[in-house]
Structure 1
Amino acid sequence: MTQAGAYGQRLGQFLRLKDAPPALVARSLRSAELAVTETRNDQPVPGLSGSLAAEDAFLVSLKLHDYPDCEVWERGKSIMKTDIRAGTTYLYDLKRDPRYVIDKPFHSLFFYIPRSALDGIAEQSSAPRIGELDCQVGVGHDDGIIRHLGASLQEGLRRPDEANQLFIDHMMLGLTAHVAQAYGGLQRTSAPARGGLAPWQAKRACERLESDLGGKLSLQKVAAELDLSVSHFSRAFRISIGLPPHQWLLHQRVKAAKQLMSVRDLPLTEIAMSAGFANQSHFTRVFSSIVGASPAVWRREALGGSSGEA
């Protein structure tokens, strides 16, 4: 299947990277692909970047490394030079063929947002369609929300096996909504629904999520089964259950692990896999953060004896 958007391998080719950079993809708005890609090259070969296919989409980039005297191009012409600072956010309109001269080490996160995703956000917010985003050449933004979301997604990029699809969908949906409001002028024309899910909806949603402890199920699929938009479902689920779907799923994994540790003398590695964790270290990290003790310590105390596992 051919990749459609400017992320992952295509973005790596644009930046002339030898290997495809890590990317996480969400499909949560009108089946649009939203993605985040981490790009880095500490020893680039100097030259102009490649060119991305023109499309009605945007790249939002969080710079993780200073890049002084950056020569920026648009529509085949050199436009200006500007100093780029780590922690700053820049927006690029892919209809304008944005490029730049690569002549220094770089490290960035790129969030790929197609027009259809912005249209979906506006529709779900009962707001007018967004026009153009604020993509001024060379203008950076001090955006704390992008930095926070970027840091969370960077953890997922470094350990993709541990990033469940609900988490990726949740983060990318939040980022797209923020971009629409901060740089697209999105304004809600009606207040968001304040109520939670109906009891039958909450029960069904929990059953569907619990049926896939591995976290491959998307927010879009669960929301569609309840005939709700993704943003409405996420908000209503949190109101009814007390946690966002991806965090609730982690608690269910811990619950399943506790049951396995209480009744069967299984190795922790097997318990981790059975409860939907990527590996034992992922299991230990999540379990410890939720329970306040490592799995081995919890099992030792729960069984009232000693377990040989550390």
Structure 2
Amino acid sequence: MTTPALPVYETLTQSHAELERCGVLGDGLTAALWLRTQLEDTFYNRPEHHTLSLYLEGGFEIVRRDRPQCQRGAPGKLCVLPAEHESDWQVKGPIRFLHLYFPTEQFDALAVTLLDREPREMQLLDRTYMEDPVLAALCRQLAALDWDSLDGRLTGNALSHEVLAHLMLTNTARRHAVTVKGGLAPWQRRRVRELIEVRLDGELTVGELAAELALSEYHFARMFRTSFGQAPHGWIMQRRLARAQSLLQTSALPLVDIAAASGFASASHLGNRFRAALGVTPGDYRRWYGCSQPS
């Protein structure tokens, strides 16, 4: 297993923390179980990814020194560490905990799809020793999975997406002090989203999207990235994969038809992209979903 470059993960690997196991769950999502028993200081310095932590055992003597007003940790407590945050921790006693690492692009997309807002308008809140029974239950389920198995990875992927959606809906706030400039206007953002969804099953170029808004390709691409948190081709691929997943879950269509309906050139093209994103084949995903999900 190749673990992506994750600064928080790498900081812990260079400490006395013991890695019990780690799982790459697809879509840029990575989970890890850690055990710490030695007195040690840890400093996280502006990582480019988000991290969610659930204390599973111990944690009573963990202190966040840059926030001395915070209560002490305990099993069931959660910490949300946004990208670009800084935090200084002192470990004084044993702790076993789950980390879920997720990319800003994956989380930013939820601002658009769930809240119809630009990612720049929203911020993931930095929280220490938070209590959230729903989130804690999802994380405990995630921690109990065998991430080396197909079923464990796919279940972990689904649970992780539930976690991200819950965080977007419950643990974000609008950046009232930030003036949002330089991106697409709300009506332009909605129009281009609608056009992408309607045209997912066919060829779709940046030029066509730009022409729809009467913008040059250069300015459209720059404004799109500003408003969506990623380049147009990245967003379109994400939406095509989401449609393919939905069709695999809900229909008996042959893979070649699902590929066509999702904008992929062939079943093999779909398979290659699907494996790159989720680490499994479309056929495995369909079988897992049919067997593992509640009816």
TM-score, structure 1 as length reference: 0.53
Q: For residue 5 of structure 2, what is the aligned residue in structure 1?
A: 4
**Shift of residue 128, structure 1, vs aligned partner:** 0.9
Give the drift of 1:22: 1.4
Query: Residue 77 of structure 2: which of 88, 93, 99 is its match?
Result: 88
Contact 1:6 1:112 (C-alpha < 8 Å) held by counterparts = no
Residue 247 of structure 1 deviates from its aligned partner by 7.4
* Cα distance change of structure 1 residues 236 and 185 upon mapping to structure 2, 3 Å threshold: farther
Equivalence for 1:148: 137
For 1:179 and 1:39, how far apart are their aligned partners in 2? 22
Report the equivalent of 2:157: 169
Matching residue of 1:47: 40
1: CA distance, partners of 2:89 / 2:83: 13
Q: Deviations over 1:156-183 (max 9, x none)?
A: 2x46235454333322222212211111
Equivalent residues of 1:89, 1:142 under 8 A apart: yes
**Residue of structure 1 in register with 2:126 after alignment:** 135
Query: How far apart, CA to CA, are the structure 1 residues paired with 2:51 and 2:239?
Result: 30
Supply the distance in 2 between the matched residues of 1:15 and 1:101 (Cα, whole angstroms).
Answer: 12
Instruction: Kindly state the Cα deviation for residue 152 of structure 1 after the two structures are TM-superposed.
Output: 2.5
* Pick aligned residue for 1:35 from 15, 22, 30: 30
CA distance in 2, matches of 1:7, 1:54: 9
Kept in 2, the 8 Å contact 1:35–1:111? The answer is: yes
Work out the CA distance in 2 between the residues paired with 1:12 and 1:53: 12
> Alpha carbon RMSD of aligned pairs, Å?
4.0
Find the counterpart in structure 1 of residue 51 from structure 2.
Answer: 59
2-structure distance, mates of 1:87, 1:57: 23
Q: Shift in Å at residue 64 of structure 1? A: 1.0
Structure 2 CA distance for partners of 1:139 and 1:99, relative to 1, 3 Å:
same
Contact 2:3 2:24 in 1 (8 A): no
| Aligned counterpart, 2:287 | 249
1:45-75 C-alpha deviation (Å, 9 max, x unpaired): 21212x334234321111112422432034x
Say which SS state the counterpart of residue 117 (structure 2) adopts: coil
Determine helix, strand or coil for the equivalent of 1:107: strand
1:135 alignment partner AA? D
Task: Give the counterpart letter for 2:29 in structure 1.
Answer: L
Q: Comparing 112-121 with 79-88, which one deviates more in the overlay?
A: 79-88
Question: Partner amino acid for 2:5?
Answer: A
- The CA distance in 2 between the partners of 1:246 and 1:178, in whole Å, is 27
Q: Which shows bigger deviation, 160-169 or 108-117?
A: 160-169
Query: What amino acid is the match of 2:47?
Result: E
What residue identity is the alignment partner of 1:132? Q
User: Deviating runs (4+, > 6 A) in structure 1?
Assistant: 224-227
Aligned residue pairs, count: 207
Instruction: Tell me the equivalent position of 1:228.
Output: 240
Give the Cα–Cα distance (whole angstroms) in 2 for the partners of residues 173 and 89 of structure 1: 17
What is the match of residue 101 of structure 2?
112
Distance 1:27 1:93 in 2: 20
Where structure 1 has 5 or more consecutive residues not aligned to the other structure, the ranges are 194-199, 201-223, 255-285, 291-310
Asked if 1 retains the 8 angstrom alpha-carbon contact of 2:80 and 2:125, the reply is yes
Deviation of residue 96 (structure 1)? Answer: 2.7
| Aligned residues of 1:124 and 1:229 also touching (Cα < 8 A) | no
Distance 2:286 2:85 in 1: 42
User: Against the structure 1 CA distance between its residues 161 and 27, is the aligned structure 2 distance closer, same or farther, given a 3 Å change threshold?
Assistant: closer
Instruction: Please tell me whether the aligned partners of residues 23 and 147 of structure 2 are also in contact (alpha carbons under 8 angstroms).
Output: no
Shift of 1:226: 10
Under a length normalisation based on structure 2, what TM-score does the superposition of the two structures give? Answer: 0.56
